[in-house]
Homo-oligomer: A and B are copies of this chain.
Amino acid sequence: MDDKVWFAELTMQEVKEAAKANKVIIIPFGSVEEHGSHLPLCTDSIQPEHVAVEAAKRTGSLVAPPIRYGVCTTTRFFPGTISISFRSLYRLAAEILEEFIRNGFRRFLLLSGHAEEEQMTALKLAAHNVMRRHTEEAKNGKLRVMVCSDYDFAYEFRGKYFSELDGHGGTIETSRVMAIRPELVKGKGNKNFQTLPRFEIIVEPMKFWPDGIRGDPAEASTEKGKFLNDHIINELVKLIDALKK
């Protein structure tokens, strides 16, 4: 039942029972970030929220209120990007985990639709430091935390069904949004396979990457999106089942 999936739609008493049942808490993280001329700023938010809800339904887990603001480094100077600092994301993730632990929960999946290195490191660092503050429970396996991106699974098909170079706002991402919120896709962006310099720190990505995307959105389709989302949901269900053991 949908109404049992969102943690924040429970009442005080229902939380007590959920904690007693040791339910897995999925916390979705996203970004508010340019995704080319054809995808919305919330692209990295609606994807993990969608697969989190589906995986929660299948596993009897709960989805915490999503954090849609993320750390955006590469795209920061494109219009529409609203980036928060590494430290703020780190603090938020750590504080929220601690509060769920205080409420009696011990199984967590932090799922980020925005997979940039700074974002993922902030989440992992938060999880690490929270676990160290609860060393005993962490060592005996009572407290368990996983951190991943849905793109850890989506990109398994690059070089297979999709271009090896497909990325931000490309075929995979456009397909997934078409399958989730088709009305938010506005036409097709331009194909773009240019790359950023490998090691240089860049403050003007537009020079290298004028459309703000990487890949060929014209290749996207709802069917591809459904296939990808289903695959991710299946993988998340496996992770959650592993957490429940």
- Could you tell me which A residues sit within 8 Å of B by CB distance? 3, 6-13, 15-16, 19, 32, 34-42, 45, 64-65, 67-69, 73, 78-88, 91-92, 95-96, 99-100, 103, 117-118, 120-121, 124-125, 127-128, 131-132, 135, 138-139, 144-148, 152, 183-184, 186, 198-201, 203-204, 212, 239
Contact = CB atoms under 8 A, between A and B. Distances in A.
Contacts of A38: 11
A169 to B, nearest CB: 10
A190 to B, nearest CB: 12
Number of this chain's copies in the assembly equals 6
Contact of A13 (B19, B32, B37): B37
A67 B42 CA distance: 14
A40 B65 contact: no
A40 B9 contact: yes
Contact of A69 (B15, B32, B92, B145): B92
Given A45-B65, A121-B117, A199-B152, A128 B73 contact: yes
A140 B214 CA distance: 25
Contacts of A184: 3, 9
Contact of A91 (B65, B85, B120, B132): B85
A117 B39 CA distance: 29
Contacts of A145: 200-201
A12 B76 CA distance: 12
